[in-house]
């Protein structure tokens, strides 16, 4: 079964493809760029991660008349609970991962973040599947860690600044298999794949 992932972010697609390759499955994930050459995307104006993921999945499924899996996610920073969250992508003025991390680290020296507890970061992910017939499935997951200075060279996005206290390392310092196992996006994907397969057999 071919399943289109409604993202233009190659890092997200690679992460999900690598994770799925470790699980026996006949589901094959392909990027939206296999079908579209122009980076079309909906506005993502929803009030929740689910709303935004559903908007993307429905947008691409309606456009292509094929099943589509889309995601939305963001960071929650304890010191500024209203600053990021579902508005994470709108908070950043930069486009590359390292530049976004520097923007976030600019908050590090603010009075609010001098308390280590206020540096707590929670990474959220929500995946939504939409079929051409309008059936919808969804799954969510989260990972809590701490904001730190960039360390490590693996992964992408926020991985270098996301410290996992129980492991004593950032996500970027972990091997790919361990990092993927912790990824909220991967965990949500693993929840969804069996449901997608079951639905596709009867859809």
Catalytic amino acids?
72
| 3-class DSSP assignment, residue 84 | coil
- Pairwise CA distance, residues 130 & 5, whole Å: 11
The tokens for 36 are 């579209």
Task: Report residue 54 as tokens.
Answer: 């559903």
Comparing C-alpha atoms, which of 183, 201, 142, 181 is closest to residue 23?
Answer: 181
Closest by CA position to 108, among listed 80, 71, 148, 168? 148
Burial zone of 202 (CB within 10 Å; 0-12 exposed, 13-18 middle, 19+ buried):
exposed
As a whole number of angstroms, the distance between CA 72 and CA 125 comes to 6
Q: What are phi and psi of 183, to 5 degrees?
A: -60, 125
């Amino acid at each position: 079964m071919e399943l289109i992932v409604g993202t233009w972010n190659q890092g997200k697609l690679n992460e999900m493809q690598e994770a799925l390759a470790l699980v026996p499955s006949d589901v094959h994930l392909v990027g939206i760029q296999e079908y579209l050459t122009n980076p079309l995307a909906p506005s993502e104006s929803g009030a929740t991660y689910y709303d935004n993921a559903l908007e993307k999945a429905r947008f691409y499924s309606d456009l292509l008349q094929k099943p589509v899996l889309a995601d939305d996610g963001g960071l929650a920073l304890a010191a500024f609970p209203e600053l990021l969250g579902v508005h994470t992508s709108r908070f950043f003025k930069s486009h590359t991962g390292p530049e976004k991390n520097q923007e976030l680290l600019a908050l590090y020296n603010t009075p609010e973040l001098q308390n280590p507890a206020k540096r707590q970061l929670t990474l959220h992910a929500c995946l939504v599947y939409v079929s051409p017939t309008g059936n919808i499935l969804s799954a969510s997951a989260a990972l809590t860690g701490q904001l730190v200075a960039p360390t490590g060279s693996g992964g992408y996005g926020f991985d270098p600044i996301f410290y996992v206290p129980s492991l004593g390392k950032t996500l970027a310092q972990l091997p790919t298999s361990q990092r993927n196992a912790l990824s909220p996006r991967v965990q949500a994907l693993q929840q969804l794949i069996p449901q997608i397969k079951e639905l596709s057999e009867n859809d």
